[in-house]
A and B are shown apart, each in its own frame.
Chain A
Amino acid sequence: MPTSIPRGYVRMPDIEFQSPISHGPISTPDGSVSIEDETSTTKVVVRAAAGTAAAADLGVPYGQSRLRADGTLVCGTRPDEWTLFAAAGRAAEVIAPVDTDGFVNAIDITHGRAMMRVSGPKATALLAKVCNIDLADDMTPDGAVFSGSVAKVTCDLLRADRAGEASYLISCERSFGSYLFAALADASTEFGASLPAGLSIH
C-alpha cells in the first residue's frame, strides 16, 4: 500500500546537518577562555508527566544532570522535562529506549537548537557579563542545569566542567545561534581574544 507523505514533510535524518555557527573556536592567547560550536551534539527533549515510567527512568531532578552509563548526559531542564545530550548522530539510539507509555514524548531537537561551549578559568567571568544568573559555585555547581537570559537570548545552560576548569554548555534556538556566538566572542575580547573577520556584533 502506498504511503502518503504530506507535501513539505521531510524526515530529519534526511537533512544534512548544518550548524548555524560558521566560525571555528575562539580563544584567548593565554587560554583563559575559549568558545566553541557544539551544535552537532545530539539533543533530545523528553517531556514526561510525573508518575510515568519515562519520568522514573530518567530520574534526574530539575536543575541537575547525570551522565548515564551509555554516555548520554541527562539534564533536568524544567519540571517534567529533560534534555538528553549524546555524541553527534545518535538521536535514534537515544530516543528508542524512552518508554512512551502515558503522557510522554521524545523529540530530536538537534537541528533546532544551536549549542556552544564556553570554558576556561575565565569562563565564569565571561558569562557573568552577559547572564543574570548567579554563577557562584554554591548556586550553580558543576552539573547544574538552568535557564536564563544570555546576551538577551533565552538559553538553556549546563555547567559541565572539564579537567577541573569551569565549562558551560549553552543552547538556544537555532536562529539565534549565530548572534549568540558573536555576542560571546565579543564579550571574550576583554580577556584578550581577537576576533576573525566577519565576526562582529557592532
Chain B
Amino acid sequence: MIVVNCPHCGPRNSSDLRPCGEVTTRPDPATASLSEWRTYLYLRENPAGWVTETWYCRSGCRRYFTIERNTATNETRSSEAS
C-alpha cells in the first residue's frame, strides 16, 4: 500500500487516488517542434528516486495536487511546486 498525503484529506491509500504522472512543462504551441511535442507527450524521466507528480484525489476532495514521491521507496513528501 502506498500512502499518499492529500493536502486536503490527509494520508490516504493510493487506491483512493489516481496517479497522473510526472509533472511536465507544456511547450509553447507557437514554436514547439515535433520532437518537443513528442517529448512532452510520451517521454518521462522515470528516475529511481524522487519525482514530482500530479495526483487526483478521486474518492476524497476531487482536487488535483502535486507531491514528490520516491519511486524506489514510495515515500512521499510535499512539493515546493504545489
A78 partner residues in chain B, CB cutoff 8 A: 8, 60-63
- Chain B contact surface mostly: loop
Question: Total number of A-B contacts with CB less than 8 angstroms?
Answer: 29
Q: Kindly identify which residue among A79, A146, A149, A154 contacts B63, using a CB–CB cutoff of 8 Å.
A: A79
Q: Kindly identify which residue among A62, A63, A79, A147 contacts B59, using a CB–CB cutoff of 8 Å.
A: A147
The proximity string for B residues 3-32 relative to A, scoring 1 for CB distances below 8 Å and 0 otherwise, is: 000001100110110000000000000000
Determine whether the beta carbon of A147 is less than 8 Å from that of B60: yes
A121 within 8 A of B: no
Total contacting residues, chain B, CB less than 8 A: 12
A89 within 8 A of B: no
A147 partner residues in chain B, CB cutoff 8 A: 9, 59-61
The proximity string for B residues 47-66 relative to A, scoring 1 for CB distances below 8 Å and 0 otherwise, is: 00000000000111111000
Could you tell me which residues of chain A, from 149 to 201, have a CB within 8 Å of some CB in chain B? 149, 154
A22 within 8 A of B: no
Nearest-neighbour CB distance to chain B for A1, whole angstroms, equals: 41
Q: List 13 A-B contacts (CB under 8 A).
A: A62-B8, A78-B61, A78-B62, A78-B63, A79-B61, A132-B13, A132-B16, A146-B9, A147-B59, A147-B61, A148-B16, A149-B59, A154-B59
